[in-house]
Chain A
Amino acid sequence: MAQGELQIHKTPDGTLQVALSGEWKLANSLPSPDLVRNEIEASPRISRVSFETGNLTGWDSGLLSFLVKVVGQCSGCDVPMDREGLPSGVNRLLDLATAVPERKGARRGTERAPFLARIGESAVSFWHSVLEMLTFIGETCVAFVRLFTGKSRFRGSDLMLVIQECSAEALPIVSLISLLVGLILAFVGAIQLKLFGAQIFVADLVGIGMTRAMGAIMTGIIMSGRTGASFAATIGTMQVNEEIDALQTTGVSPIDFLVLPRMIALCIIMPLLTVYADFMGIMGGLIVGVFGLDLNIVEYYNETKKAVSLTNFWIGIFSGFVYGILIAISGCMRGMQCGRSASAVGDATTSAVVTGIVSIVVATAIITVICNILGI
């Protein structure tokens, strides 16, 4: 098919005749409207522009956008434009496009704010988000007080549903990840310990490493990606659907109804999952010990039992509990703060996972330092 082509003739009476031929469609590469302007600017004698479209075989918005630019150029150069030669459909669309003048002030400014202003704005918005987080935590605490005084309402079936979603359904991935983490710890440790012929201490390394920190951290990160994200997406979608508004106007506090069951579920489930992850991690270490380091199963078991004290174990469980609270807070909070659009739900989910993981790592650091100071 012939591409869109442009031929420009000048007639002696000062008319610039623009002949359009071929297929003027967006998919083809079209001539630039600047050709017409150059002609107009080159010869000041031109008194009008006219069009000839006898050989035009087809057109779409490509032709239209070309013509809109030509119209702009002609009126810029004060040359009248004769649109009679154009197809009537094109003429009507051109009228439509130029019918409503651009609204003043509607166009968004493109200039960027100065550097310092942008720093200031980010700082202010960071401060606002800190305040929002504190408000949310405060509201949740108040909701817990209401719960203990028997004034708060949520449905027991909701709690059971959340517990099911974040416990049994999370087991496979928690098993896999913690088994592999145990394996990795054992391999990395074994390389060094073998140098001293002290392979048996792999059991100590894996046992203490898993129970004291890694079991809880890995569970926390998995749950943050899995459950925290799902909390944010669920609550965010409810926000988009006005379901949260409907709760509020019915007199049900969304915190009581949505946040409490999720938080309670995670507080119960995270310590349990942590214990499970500890166990799976030790199993991973055992596999490496038995098959890679030629250790005896009973030997490995006894060494683990000797090394892992109950204190290590409790620290892990306590960390798991704290991570549960953090995941629930970040997931629910981002969901409640969600805007009213589909992309806002995506942002809320992303931000819930990021907040969850960052706060888990920070909490781990704080717990470790405190344990160090207490000497446990």
Chain B
Amino acid sequence: MNTPEAHIIVRDLTMAYGSYVLQRDLTFTVNRGDVFIIMGGSGCGKSTLMRHLCGLKAPAKGQVFYGSMNFWEAEPDERDRMMRRLGIMYQSGALWSSLTLVENIALPIELYTSLNAGQIREIASLKLALVGLAGFEDYYPSEISGGMKKRAGIARAMALDPEILFFDEPSAGLDPVSARLLDDLILELSESLGTTVVVVTHELSSIFAIGNNSVFIDATEKTMIATGHPRRLLEECGHPTVRNFLTRGEARAELKPGETPVPCFLA
């Protein structure tokens, strides 16, 4: 196996809404080809962290690097070019409701390529077929189910063959079988296309099924308390919050009086 190459480097990132600090001093690296999980309890800032990574919200402090490019301190043009290489699937799918599925996927392609309409439609249909939605090209987002919207959202995120795919809560609101199928799809895409995948989730089954690296951010400590492969974290991490999270609270881990929790950063 090749030595891992850093794809996204986050350094001392602080996230804040006004004067309210959500998370501070986040430092982690996502390697090329990883399926990287951002996990943590509800309301700890997972989705906000994703917004910082994909260019929707500037950090209060700290840097995000894509390779050697300092994302937030780069020229706006350069940042736009980088953003074009990211694909993002939003929690609700966020398909543009005034466009059909095929138009949703075609829009980014129209913007950044000089293909003709027929070719664009062909590519867009192909992307829909990849996520199992062949035949639904001319449906509007309001006419399909929640799971299908998420799939279509993935197809749109992949429209420009991105280097990095972001998923915000891919399995939220899906039944277990659909959630499993979606996990398989994410894994399949990352393996066959070599795409780096960043998944924001708190769904344990997904975390163990697809993740090969992760960061755990915590709402009470307001910073990250663990990094590493989720399965190894389950075996090795001694931090009670992480243990309880990864075992659905069955570990019943608690601190002895006077003991301070030890963050667990696996290489």
A residues apposed to B, CB below 8 Å: 153, 158, 161, 237-238, 241-243, 245-252
From A237, A242, A252, contact of B107 by CB (8 A): A252
B56 touches A248 (CB 8 A): yes
Give the docked Cα–Cα distance between A299 and B108 (Å). 62
Q: Does B74 sit within 8 A of A, measured CB to CB? A: no
In the complex formed, the residue of B with least CB distance to A249 is B88
Give the docked Cα–Cα distance between A246 and B80 (Å). 13
In the complex formed, the residue of B with least CB distance to A153 is B111
B112 touches A251 (CB 8 A): yes
- Using known A-B contacts A251-B84, A251-B108, A252-B111, determine if residue A238 contacts B97 with beta carbons closer than 8 Å: yes
In the complex formed, the residue of A with least CB distance to B87 is A249
B97 touches A241 (CB 8 A): yes
- Using known A-B contacts A246-B88, A246-B90, determine if residue A251 contacts B96 with beta carbons closer than 8 Å: no
User: Interface readout for B109-143 with A: 1 if CB under 8 Å, 0 if not?
Assistant: 00110000000000000000000000000000000
Shortest Cβ distance from B236 into chain A, in angstroms?
A: 30
A249 touches B91 (CB 8 A): no
User: Interface readout for B142-165 with A: 1 if CB under 8 Å, 0 if not?
Assistant: 000000000000001000000000
- Using known A-B contacts A241-B92, A242-B91, A243-B96, determine if residue A250 contacts B55 with beta carbons closer than 8 Å: no
B94 touches A245 (CB 8 A): yes
Contacting residues, chain B, for A161 (C-beta < 8 A): 98
Q: Does B101 sit within 8 A of A, measured CB to CB? A: no
6 residue pairs of the A-B complex, CB under 8 angstroms, read: A243-B95, A245-B56, A245-B88, A246-B95, A250-B107, A251-B83
Give the docked Cα–Cα distance between A252 and B51 (Å). 17
Q: Does B86 sit within 8 A of A, measured CB to CB? A: yes
B residues apposed to A, CB below 8 Å: 51, 54-56, 80, 83-84, 86, 88, 90-92, 94-98, 107-108, 111-112, 156
Give the docked Cα–Cα distance between A249 and B84 (Å). 7
A243 touches B107 (CB 8 A): no
From A158, A245, A252, contact of B90 by CB (8 A): A245
Contacting residues, chain A, for B91 (C-beta < 8 A): 242
Shortest Cβ distance from A246 into chain B, in angstroms?
A: 4
4 more A-B residue pairs beyond the given contacts A246-B94, A246-B156, A250-B84, with a C-beta to C-beta distance below 8 A: A243-B95, A245-B51, A248-B55, A250-B108
Per CB-CB distance, the 4 closest pairs between chain A and chain B, nearest first, are: A242-B94, A242-B90, A246-B94, A250-B108
- Using known A-B contacts A153-B111, A246-B88, determine if residue A251 contacts B94 with beta carbons closer than 8 Å: no
In the complex formed, the residue of A with least CB distance to B88 is A249
A246 touches B112 (CB 8 A): no
Give the docked Cα–Cα distance between A242 and B156 (Å). 14
B83 touches A242 (CB 8 A): no
Give the docked Cα–Cα distance between A246 and B83 (Å). 11
Shortest Cβ distance from B137 into chain A, in angstroms?
A: 17
For the complex, would chain A's binding face be called helix, strand, loop or mixed by DSSP majority?
Answer: helix
Contacting residues, chain A, for B86 (C-beta < 8 A): 249
B111 touches A251 (CB 8 A): yes
Shortest Cβ distance from B23 into chain A, in angstroms?
A: 19
In the complex formed, the residue of B with least CB distance to A250 is B108
From A153, A158, A241, A252, contact of B94 by CB (8 A): A241
- Using known A-B contacts A249-B56, A249-B83, determine if residue A242 contacts B92 with beta carbons closer than 8 Å: yes
In the complex formed, the residue of A with least CB distance to B94 is A242
Contacting residues, chain B, for A158 (C-beta < 8 A): 98
Contacting residues, chain A, for B83 (C-beta < 8 A): 249, 251
- Using known A-B contacts A241-B94, A242-B92, A243-B96, determine if residue A251 contacts B80 with beta carbons closer than 8 Å: yes
Contacting residues, chain B, for A251 (C-beta < 8 A): 80, 83-84, 108, 111-112
Shortest Cβ distance from B60 into chain A, in angstroms?
A: 19
Contacting residues, chain A, for B94 (C-beta < 8 A): 241-243, 245-246
Give the docked Cα–Cα distance between A252 and B88 (Å). 14
Shortest Cβ distance from A347 into chain B, in angstroms?
A: 19
Shortest Cβ distance from A263 into chain B, in angstroms?
A: 17
Give the docked Cα–Cα distance between A249 and B162 (Å). 12
B96 touches A247 (CB 8 A): yes
Give the docked Cα–Cα distance between A242 and B51 (Å). 11
Contacting residues, chain A, for B84 (C-beta < 8 A): 250-251
Give the docked Cα–Cα distance between A248 and B55 (Å). 9
Contacting residues, chain A, for B156 (C-beta < 8 A): 246
In the complex formed, the residue of B with least CB distance to A161 is B98
Give the docked Cα–Cα distance between A153 and B108 (Å). 11
In the complex formed, the residue of A with least CB distance to B57 is A245
- Using known A-B contacts A238-B97, A241-B97, A242-B90, determine if residue A249 contacts B107 with beta carbons closer than 8 Å: no
Shortest Cβ distance from A298 into chain B, in angstroms?
A: 50
In the complex formed, the residue of A with least CB distance to B47 is A242
Shortest Cβ distance from A291 into chain B, in angstroms?
A: 47
Give the docked Cα–Cα distance between A246 and B86 (Å). 11
Contacting residues, chain B, for A250 (C-beta < 8 A): 84, 107-108, 111
Contacting residues, chain B, for A153 (C-beta < 8 A): 111
In the complex formed, the residue of A with least CB distance to B103 is A155
From B51, B55, B96, B111, contact of A246 by CB (8 A): B96
Give the docked Cα–Cα distance between A238 and B98 (Å). 10
Give the docked Cα–Cα distance between A246 and B98 (Å). 14
Contacting residues, chain A, for B98 (C-beta < 8 A): 158, 161
Shortest Cβ distance from A209 into chain B, in angstroms?
A: 40
Give the docked Cα–Cα distance between A249 and B91 (Å). 14
Contacting residues, chain B, for A249 (C-beta < 8 A): 54-56, 83, 86, 88
Give the docked Cα–Cα distance between A248 and B79 (Å). 12
Give the docked Cα–Cα distance between A243 and B94 (Å). 5
Give the docked Cα–Cα distance between A238 and B93 (Å). 12
Contacting residues, chain B, for A252 (C-beta < 8 A): 107-108, 111
